[in-house]
Amino acid sequence: MASLMEELLDTLYKEKEIYEKLIPVSEEKTGILVQDDLKKLEEVTRREQALIDEASALGKKRESVMQNIAVVLNKDAGTLDLGTLAGLLEKQPEERKKLAAIHDSLKLVMKRLVSINERNKNLIENSLEMIEFNMNFIQSTRMSPGVNNYDKNASTNYHSAFSAGEFDAKQ
């Protein structure tokens, strides 16, 4: 059990480090979304994805260790989480303290990441709405009746789609 706890704590510390590295990358992404720089956005997204892949691998490792701990403790792996595990470690106060500390620290880091990602999500949604608005505007100007012609003096001559006499008033 002691080696499983060491492996769990080590995995949790590594996960926390990766999430802490992800915070400045996500904040940088916020600035890039505001600037609307697609090349920088692509590069930051690549770095962000690499960190997410690392965190995902560590998450799978953590889940595997938690399943092994659940077997040792004769508990259901589906209901065993870090908070519950910390409660079960009454006779091991040092490990309990370490687990509780990393659990609390991870919660704070994740809360910060969720906040930043929510802001980025809103910025992306706003950008998509603006793109959709511009596309609709462009389509509506192409479909508008009448023809706009520009002469060499840059003045506009508007010609209606219907000329005089095309309307049949007799019906």
Q: What pLDDT score does 89 carry?
A: 83
Coil/strand/helix, residue 149: strand
CA angle in degrees (0–180, nearest 5) for 96-56-83: 25
Whether 113 contacts 51, CB under 8 Å: no
Q: What pLDDT score does 151 carry?
A: 61
Could you give the CA distance from residue 22 to residue 11 in angstroms, rounded to a whole number? 17
Q: What pLDDT score does 167 carry?
A: 47
pTM over 0.85: no
For the domain made up of 2-140, give the CATH fold.
Answer: Methane Monooxygenase Hydroxylase; Chain G, domain 1 (1.20.58)
Query: What does pLDDT average to in each consecutive run of 10 residues of the chain (171 residues)?
Result: 88 96 95 89 95 96 93 86 85 89 94 95 90 87 63 55 50 46
Could you give the CA distance from residue 28 to residue 25 in angstroms, rounded to a whole number? 5
